[in-house]
Amino acid sequence: MLTIHSMSTLSLSRNVVLFGSAAAAFVAGVYVIWGPNQKKRTKQKGTCPGLLNLGNTCFLNAVLQGMAPCASVVHWLTEFVEKRTHSDSSCYLASTLLKVLKVLNNDSIEHTQDYCPADVIAALRLRRWVISEEEQDAHEMFHVLTETLDEEATRFPRVLPLFDLSALQGCRSAQCQPAASARSKIEADLPVLPQRDFRHPFQGLLASQLQCKKCGHKCPVKHDTFDSLSLSFPPAAGGSLTLDRLLRHFVMSETVQNVECEGCGRLQEVAEVMGVHGSGSGDGHSRQTAPKAMFVKKLTVAKLPQCLCLHLQRTVWLNNGMPMKRYEHVAFPEVLDISRYVYPKTDRVKTLLTPGVGLCDSRPASRRLVGGNHCTAATPSKSDRRHKTVSMPYSGPISLLKALNYHTRLSMNGFFVQPRQHSIQDDPGSPSVALLAQAYRSEVAQSVSERNTYKLVGVLVHLGDVFSGHFVTYRRAPSTNGQRFPTRWLYTSDTAVKRVAFSDVLQCDAYMLFYEKI
């Protein structure tokens, strides 16, 4: 039986519940009508979406934001995906990467807020990449992305089983090359070789060559592919560090000891035959092995990529085996010209680019035959005809052909130079040839500089020490009026995106630099 006290307590509790329900309904109505603060959710005008951090994935977010302003990368990915329309393009990393880059460039209407890059990690794991939940290096992630893109662009044929004689003797057209273009010596089909449709924009070629310091003999050039150039810091960082200084340190010549020199061996054989070092009646035992000499190894860039990625190696190892981070600031330009680090195609262009050198002086002094002060036009002997020589006039670019046609006044069609005997007017010291060489040098220098010029589009920065830290990216803002290189710059740190001045970009301590060819 309820008492009066208990009945009053129930009525009080019921009033409290009713009041609390009314207050909750009022708060919910206010939230629905006015909603949250839209200024915190709306993306700032002139910026780009951010990327969610899935734990410790700032290294991936920074690389994606650095690749986004590279227009050639987006164009390459678009062509790659379009050529894979007959297959399931969703299984490719290129398709996933293209979708993310379009979001970061405000080129997607599906995602206007912060985007989750989980699909990129899932695509990499499908390619059997192990990506742990710990902190990783952004440069290593960049190589994982480029290597995966290179694998997807390379089509490998199916391996034929050796025990299947029918498949080996008469394979299908999908496994073998066309019979009209490729046949073996026994009139059998040849298997399809691995082929690459087209290389991604970050891939280039490095050229390394050895040259003897004694005789000047040059070994064949060896080429190696690269996706990025890792620039090490000088041991003693005296003075200001610049990107040009790191590039010069990268291509600096290296001395190699005790290398067998074929050039020195040929010179030694010639000397023995001519009796310079004796009668030449030796048993030939000393000529079985080439003499060893000191060589100089030169490293240059043989083929420039469309997008150049420069990695500044800030991690160094001390003598006790402990890693240490270099915190020095490296000054980098907005426009980068790397013509001086490119492998010279021919000595001809290199000579013409040198002021004070005539058109006839096309070879170095150590490789020229010295016979007088003038470039003669004597008829070559039979022994000289066996050698490949470059005679006047030099068959260079069209502009030089036109200039030579105007100079000789013997062209019948205004384009090709007619052969003739050279007179005293073709002397390198004459004013006409000097003006011709000067005009050609300026034209070649301008064309080479234009081909080897890049513009900055993104900078990755590492905040922290060698054991832990955070990656952020400075990048160009997405283009709104069709500009290839917008002037606005953004600071991105996962989901935090804000506009910054270009002076702030130049003052940051870069870890990776993204340049795109102009």
**Which is it for strands 496-500 and 489-493: parallel, antiparallel or unpaired?**
antiparallel
Radius of gyration of the chain from Cα atoms? Answer: 34
Helices 58-67 + 93-104 axis angle, to 10: 80
* Neighbouring C-beta atoms of residue 144, cutoff 10 Å: 18
Residue with tokens 């329900």: 21
Listed residue (142, 158, 156, 148) closest to 127, CA to CA: 148
d(CA 85, CA 222): 37
Alpha helices in 180-300 (DSSP H): 243-250, 262-273
Pair 214, 265: CB distance under 8 Å: no
Catalytic residue among 48, 58, 212, 375: 58
The three-class DSSP label of residue 167 is helix
Verify whether residue 212 is a known catalytic residue: no
Verify whether residue 470 is a known catalytic residue: yes
Which are the contacts of 241, defined by CB distance < 8 A and separation ≥ 6? 233, 234, 328, 329, 330, 331
Pair 473, 68: CB distance under 8 Å: no
Listed residue (205, 78, 198, 51) closest to 138, CA to CA: 51
Pair 301, 228: CB distance under 8 Å: no
DSSP 365: G
The three-class DSSP label of residue 303 is strand
Q: Which two tokens stand for residue 478?
A: 């997405």
Q: Which residues pair with 380 in a beta bridge?
A: none
DSSP 164: -
* CB burial string 322-349: b at 16+ within 10 A, e below: eeeebeeebebeeebebbebbbeeeebb
Pair 516, 455: CB distance under 8 Å: yes
Distance separating the N- and C-terminal Cα atoms of the chain? 93
d(CA 80, CA 85): 9
* Neighbouring C-beta atoms of residue 277, cutoff 10 Å: 10
Planar angle of CA 511, 515, 518, nearest 5 degrees:
165
d(CA 183, CA 175): 14
At 473, which helix (H) or strand (E)?
A: strand 469-476
* Neighbouring C-beta atoms of residue 480, cutoff 10 Å: 11
Active centre residues (catalytic): 58, 470
